[in-house]
Structure 1
Amino acid sequence: MRIRATVAAVTGALALSAFAVPAAQADGSAISREDTAKVLDAAHAAAAKSGSRAAAAAADAPYALDVSISNVKINSGKAIVAGTTKQVTVPTTFTLTHGADVDVTAADFLVDVEIYKGSYAEPDNILFGDTWPTCRVVTTTTASCTGTIDARPGEGELWNTDAGAWSANAYAVAFNGEDPSSADFDLTKVGYAEQAKVGSTKLQRYSRLTVNASPEPVKKGKTITVTGALTRANWETNKYAGYTVQSVKLQFKKKGTSTYVDVKTVKSGTKGALKTTVKAASDGYFRYNFAGTSTTPAVKAAGDFVDVK
């Protein structure tokens, strides 16, 4: 289980490694995120500059690694949508460009793209993959890499305020045969590179929408009451809660046709409740359609058929 840490008042990219990280990678790598975090911390401390992307020349700092990361895509450009309990895993892809002297195929060369909420200097939260990305050599100085971002809303990794826009940062660490657990570990022989805001994504709270049109059957010209509810994941209670004061369209599809048409717009009320009335005109399907917001994805209810006599 990964535990979200409360962000302290730290400066620069140091905040990005201030979160709790697993003692070892899920893929069994000998070098853990905790080891790479220590390297990043040392580089940030040596640079003593907010958001610095290269280690300063110092006796106790890693050297600047000739590596850059570009063409970052999180979840193929789509928003990351998380429910209340189920782990969500989405892909990341990026291009790694490096100097000819950098061995990106080495077992102790590690690269990653993470996402963070808030500012780069003082992030509110960070998400990363359970395993390290893998890279395929394309040329002598470029590689194509794939990884993941993993989120566990059921384990306290997300707060409701985390919904919305996130940014991506990237880093690479070349240990060059140095053992971080050894007493003879020489940090100056370790290479380091880091980039902020290499990409962006949205993290959204999974939404649900229901509809019920009654009575059924109904005589032509009589009143039909259409109810429903718009709810979304609450990451702090691990339950679904009403999404209030949202505009939701009531739509109708006449029997024998394939297209829904807008009837009216309804505002969601207490607990996300939806309710309105229409006059029965012909057989068909009613549904509610929510367009979505920056924090909550669009959702359509399954159509509810009404038989008009």
Structure 2
Amino acid sequence: MRAGRSSGSAVVLVGALALGAFAVPSAAAADTGITVTKMVVNNGKPVVVGTSATVKPGFTFRMTWPSGVKLADAQVLPFLYHDTTAAKGAAHGGIYFDSVSCGDNGSQPADCGGQLSIEPRSTLDSDNDATTWKIAAGAKIWSGSGLKSQEILTGLGTVQVQRAAKVTANATPEPVAKGGTLTVKGAITRADWVKHKYVGFGGKAAKLQFRKKGSGTYTTLKTVRADSAGALRATVKASADGYYRWTFGATSTTGGATSAGDYVDVT
């Protein structure tokens, strides 16, 4: 594989440049004879991205290449795109590979893998990017004289990209008398890829759960919907020492989250 082995801060740029040639007319644009099957990104799970940390989901695939061509001269560079064509996604607006490698034992097909690189401040510029992305790959065949043929392989599958979410929990008063009223508050926030910070996730339903001291299991007490600012509030009767937490599942655009348990001593 001639590209995709780079590492460090320049990797996304390297990926974009390596794929960019597919977006312009080329005398080498032709069927490469490369096939890609069994493409899986992030083990088939959604990719959840926050506001600053680079996320590098892994991918695996199986490839075949023309007889008489060495694997070292057959290149597959996966990328993700949405709301555009694969060719334009290869040139800009896509999520590019960070690394690609294949096991070469001299036989076909070869099992390959690597990782993509998602840097939210440069790769995601709209909350509309929390959607279903299509998986494609640039394919190239090289020869001793240079690039022999290239094409874009599409229809390799899809992957959901989601905004990361957080939730907090705070139970008061602490300690509390047995049978007394506890107020458990919380706040749901999720990544805003335009403002590059977490903002309130209004209207999201969350479960208030309790785990008795010494137990390993949480039990749901109530389900509460957050207000327009993402704030949660519920009251319960204190019965025993234990932990209170808020939790909620993922939506199509946003990952789920569970708070740390807030311990309350019942006197």
TM-score by length of 2: 0.86
- Deviation of 1:26 after TM superposition, in Å, equals 4.4
- Deviation of 1:35 after TM superposition, in Å, equals 5.7
Matched, 1:118 2:110: no
What is the letter of the counterpart of residue 253 of structure 1?
R
Q: In the aligned structure 2, how far is the partner of 1:36 from the partner of 1:292?
A: 32
- Deviation of 1:128 after TM superposition, in Å, equals 0.8
Residues 159 and 235 in structure 1, CA contact (< 8 A), matched pair in contact too:
yes
What is the letter of the counterpart of residue 237 of structure 1?
K
Q: In the aligned structure 1, how far is the partner of 2:120 from the partner of 2:132?
A: 17
Q: In the aligned structure 2, how far is the partner of 1:237 from the partner of 1:104?
A: 44
User: 1:23-77 deviations in whole A, cap 9, x for unaligned?
Assistant: x984599x9753653345326xxxxxxxxxxxxxxxx453321110011111222
1:275-290 residue pairs with structure 2 within 5 A? 275-290=233-248
Change (3 A) 1:104 1:166: same
Secondary structure, aligned partner of 2:25: helix
- Deviation of 1:214 after TM superposition, in Å, equals 0.4
What is the letter of the counterpart of residue 134 of structure 2?
S
Q: In the aligned structure 2, how far is the partner of 1:138 from the partner of 1:118?
A: 39
Alignment-derived partner of residue 62 in structure 2: 95
Pick aligned residue for 2:48 from 70, 77, 81 = 81
Matched, 1:268 2:226: yes
Give unmatched runs, 5+ long, in structure 2. none
Alignment-derived partner of residue 25 in structure 2: 42
Alignment-derived partner of residue 189 in structure 2: 231
Residues 96 and 116 in structure 2, CA contact (< 8 A), matched pair in contact too:
yes
Alignment-derived partner of residue 127 in structure 1: 95
Q: In the aligned structure 2, how far is the partner of 1:176 from the partner of 1:86?
A: 39
Q: In the aligned structure 2, how far is the partner of 1:32 from the partner of 1:226?
A: 47
Give unmatched runs, 5+ long, in structure 1. 1-23, 44-59, 180-188
- Deviation of 1:210 after TM superposition, in Å, equals 0.5
Pick aligned residue for 1:243 from 201, 214, 224 = 201
Q: Which structure has the bigger radius of gyration? A: 1
Matched, 1:167 2:131: no
- Deviation of 1:217 after TM superposition, in Å, equals 1.2
What is the letter of the counterpart of residue 209 of structure 2?
Q
- Deviation of 1:94 after TM superposition, in Å, equals 0.8
Change (3 A) 1:102 1:129: same
Q: In the aligned structure 2, how far is the partner of 1:225 from the partner of 1:39?
A: 58
Matched, 1:303 2:248: no
Residues 168 and 260 in structure 2, CA contact (< 8 A), matched pair in contact too:
yes
Alignment-derived partner of residue 213 in structure 1: 171
Change (3 A) 1:40 1:177: farther
Change (3 A) 1:253 1:25: closer
Alignment-derived partner of residue 113 in structure 2: 146
Q: Percent identity?
A: 33
- Deviation of 1:168 after TM superposition, in Å, equals 0.3
Q: In the aligned structure 1, how far is the partner of 2:59 from the partner of 2:120?
A: 19
- Deviation of 1:153 after TM superposition, in Å, equals 0.9
Name the stretch that deviates more: 224-233 or 149-158. Answer: 149-158
What is the letter of the counterpart of residue 303 of structure 1?
G
1:11-22 residue pairs with structure 2 within 5 A? none
Q: In the aligned structure 2, how far is the partner of 1:75 from the partner of 1:32?
A: 18
TM-score by length of 1: 0.75
Change (3 A) 1:33 1:242: closer
Q: In the aligned structure 2, how far is the partner of 1:165 from the partner of 1:156?
A: 15
Q: In the aligned structure 2, how far is the partner of 1:287 from the partner of 1:174?
A: 55
Q: In the aligned structure 1, how far is the partner of 2:149 from the partner of 2:124?
A: 30
- Deviation of 1:165 after TM superposition, in Å, equals 1.6
Secondary structure, aligned partner of 1:63: coil
Secondary structure, aligned partner of 1:190: strand
Q: In the aligned structure 2, how far is the partner of 1:93 from the partner of 1:99?
A: 20
Q: In the aligned structure 2, how far is the partner of 1:175 from the partner of 1:294?
A: 40
What is the letter of the counterpart of residue 118 of structure 1?
D
Secondary structure, aligned partner of 1:118: coil
Pick aligned residue for 1:66 from 29, 33, 54 = 33
